[in-house]
Amino acid sequence: MSSRTYLAAATALIAVIFVAATLIVQPLLRTARIDFTENSLFTLSKGTKSVLTELEEPVDLTFVYTRRVGQEFPAVRAYATRVRELLDAYKAVAGPDLRIREIDPEPFSEAEDEALAAGITAVNSDSGDPLYFGLIGQNTVDDQRVIPFLAPEQEETLEYDLTRMIARLNRPEPPKVGVLSTLQGMSGTGDTGGYTFLQELAKGYELEPIDEDFFSLPEDMDVLMMVHPPEMNDWQLWLVDQFILRKGRAIILVDAAAKTSRGSDLASMAGRQVRSDLGPFGDVWGLHLSEEALADTESALPIQAPAGEGRTNVIRHPLYLSATPSLMPTRSLITADLSRSVNFGAPGGLLLDAESPIDKEVLIQTGPAPSWIPADEAVTDLSAQETLQLYSPLDEAVPLAVRVHGALVSAFSDGRPEPDMPDDPVLAELARAAAEEALPHVSSSERDAEILVVSDADMVDDGLYVDLSSATAFADNGAFLMNALDVLSGDAGLLSLRARASSRRPMTRVEAMRDDAQERFFDEQARLEGKLVESQSRLEQLQQRGTSDGFFSGDIEATLTEDERLELARLRQDIIDTRSRLRAIERDFRREIDGLEGWLKFINIFGGPILVALLAGLVWWRRRQRGIA
């Protein structure tokens, strides 16, 4: 065999071996990945892998995306790629139990009919055709769950939303959460209106609103959530007591000075309940809510405050607390994955009884030197300065959120109380029927309790943790409570998914340069605005003397004195000079950005070849040295 024939045969054989090896190894290494991205963006969490590997029956996911319209929006186009890559990673882990397809709902197509029938949101675009960008999930019994629109700004919760959808489709019956609250934003089922937290709660749980004058609690309730609950009679308190002893799962948000419970006028304030507490449960659990509210200068939250003349300043208000992750335990399932602060509005303090045998864990606390503020003062619109005048620092931190766990005893040692019969005969009959159907009294826990007690009800208000302009959270209030619900309802595997980082990588160097230029720009702009105000005031004076409405027109100048004409000329020159300086700042800013862009282009284009050339030179030099030796 000639060398040429041998070379051709060897090449063909190598190609065949390569293709065969690829076909054999590819299924075996389908799930093998190496993720070099910061924060491991393409590495699925343990919670997601656990859900995907425990699928009991196939789940179908339909990715709905209008490609042609999506190309008009770079953020949407990039996010669509991110969603596809994440779905591919899911498929690699789940195998045949997860079936994924993508449809492109062009106008008047069957795909559009399918998207609309499922509830995918149609977003108007500049081209006139709607943008569809969502996800449809179905299981084998035709249970369906939908993410109507995949908002790019909510990328941090993408993996959590996808995994929660699959988990709910795998086990269709969501946990039932009973909600008892006097806050208007926590009323209803969360389908329309209400706080953002209530709407997020409705996505993963079956909500059961509980009336303030309830005679019985909902059947098959998995978790009881009380947010600033009303003052309850003995019968209602006994029902709560018995639920906790039997089911042992509750989240209780009480408040010494609930700002969100009052209206905008004194009349509505007088008719609202501004305090809620633990009632008889405090003595049994060894946990009480303080009579006063708390302020804390160390964890004070920056807020916008009026500064006069229609302006606002950002100041740190001690009555609004921002508890950072450093004030939370890292080993708790509820707080371990939180990466942002949890914000509070004039919270109370939780007082722990050191002699109580009940196990308690502090999840969130204040800084080391908070201060008590009278509740009747804290519930009003106290300014930061007024709060500081009342400030008297303590010598230790005060708990804001406490987990109570373990076996409990009943708060009603004498057994079941008799229900209070309403005057209305119909309601009285309902009360008698509820009393007859009530389960027998139990005096101790049938299962270990898991209860979260928080000393602030205002924390669920959107204003404390949601950017209302973009509907995105800037604090982890919602994540904290949802983590607690996941733990209490048995879905603790989803906890690690809430704080996933975004794939967006801002150019921090460019942003720092922009911030510096804008700081200078705004200083000059403020000067310019001040000068314009002065000139406008002076112009109004001159217009009263002149006959023309023009800006520095000749008719007006004819009526001015020599000193006034010189003053106006100086003012015009100052404005021109200031505007010239502003343009110079913008040019300098662009010059710095262009220089940075030029270096980046140089590195990207020539960096690789230069590195290869240097390595080649190093190899050549080493070989030459060896040859000389």
Task: Name which residue leads in pLDDT, 94 or 5.
Answer: 94
- For 472, list phi and psi in degrees, rounded to 5: -115, 150
25 against 225, higher pLDDT: 225
Q: What confidence score (pLDDT) does residue 504 get?
A: 53
Q: Is the pLDDT of residue 43 over 80?
A: no
Contact 132, 68 (CB under 8 A): no
Predicted local distance difference test score (pLDDT) of residue 261: 81
- Between CA 626 and CA 629 the distance in angstroms is 5
pLDDT tens track for 434-451: 888 889 999 999 989 999
In this prediction, residue 268 carries a pLDDT of 46
State the alpha helices, DSSP H only, in 290-424: 375-378, 384-389
pLDDT tens per residue, range 472-520: 889 999 999 998 998 888 665 565 565 554 555 555 666 566 566 555 5
Closest by CA position to 352, among listed 306, 402, 281: 402
Amino acid symbol at 194: G
- Band (pLDDT 50/70/90 cuts) for residue 312 is low
Tokens for 496?
């690690």
Give the pLDDT confidence of 247-304 residue by residue, as tens digits. Answer: 999 999 999 999 988 543 433 445 578 999 999 999 999 999 999 999 999 999 987 7
Task: Please tell me the predicted confidence (pLDDT) of residue 548.
Answer: 46
Q: Return the amino acid letter for 85.
A: E
CA gyration radius, the chain? 33
Provide the pLDDT for residue 161.
84
User: What is the predicted pLDDT for the residue at 22?
Assistant: 76
pLDDT classification of 602: cutoffs 50, 70, 90: confident
Instruction: Please report where in the chains the tokens 């602030």 appear, as a residue.
Output: 456
**pLDDT digits over 378-427, tens only?**
999 898 989 999 999 999 999 999 999 999 999 999 999 988 888 888 88
579 band by pLDDT with thresholds 50, 70 and 90: low
What is the rounded distance in angstroms from the CA atom of residue 377 to the CA atom of residue 414? 39
Residue 360 has pLDDT above 50, yes or no: yes
Q: How far apart are CA 292 and CA 290, in angstroms?
A: 5
The predicted model gives 47-66 an average pLDDT of: 91
Please state, in angstroms and rounded to a whole number, the distance separating the CA atoms of residues 79 and 458: 34
CA distance 440 to 415: 9
Q: What is the DSSP string of 249-276?
A: EEEEE-BSS-GGGS-SSHHHHHTS---B
* Average pLDDT along the chain: 83
Delimit the domains of the chain by residue range: 1-30, 42-147, 174-496, 510-628
What is the C-alpha separation between 474 and 118, in angstroms, rounded?
31
**255 vs 260: CA distance, rounded Å:** 10
- Would the pLDDT of 332 be above 90? no
> What percentage of the chain exceeds 70 in pLDDT?
77
Supply 359's token pair. 């196990």
pLDDT in tens, 536-566: 566 556 555 544 444 444 445 555 667 766 7
CA quadruple 218, 221, 227, 232: dihedral sign:
positive
Fold that domain 174-496 belongs to in CATH:
Rossmann fold (3.40.50)
Whether the predicted pLDDT of 192 surpasses 90: no
Instruction: State yes or no: pLDDT of 526 exceeds 50.
Output: yes
Take residue 123 and report the two structure tokens written for it. Answer: 């977003």
* Of 84, 87, 103, residue with least CA distance to 166: 87
On whether the CB atoms of residues 269 and 263 are closer than 8 A, the answer is yes
Burial class (CB in 10 A: 0-12, 13-18, 19+), 238: buried
Reported confidence tier of residue 567, pLDDT bands at 50, 70, 90 = low
Q: What is the pLDDT of residue 303?
A: 78
146 DSSP β-pair partners: 136
Q: Measured in Å, how far apart are the chain's first and last C-alpha atoms?
A: 41
Please, what CATH class does the domain formed by 42-147 belong to? Answer: alpha beta
Question: pLDDT at position 263, please?
Answer: 47
CB 522 within 8 A of CB 530: no
Per-residue pLDDT, 538: 60
Mean pLDDT, residues 610-627 taken together: 83
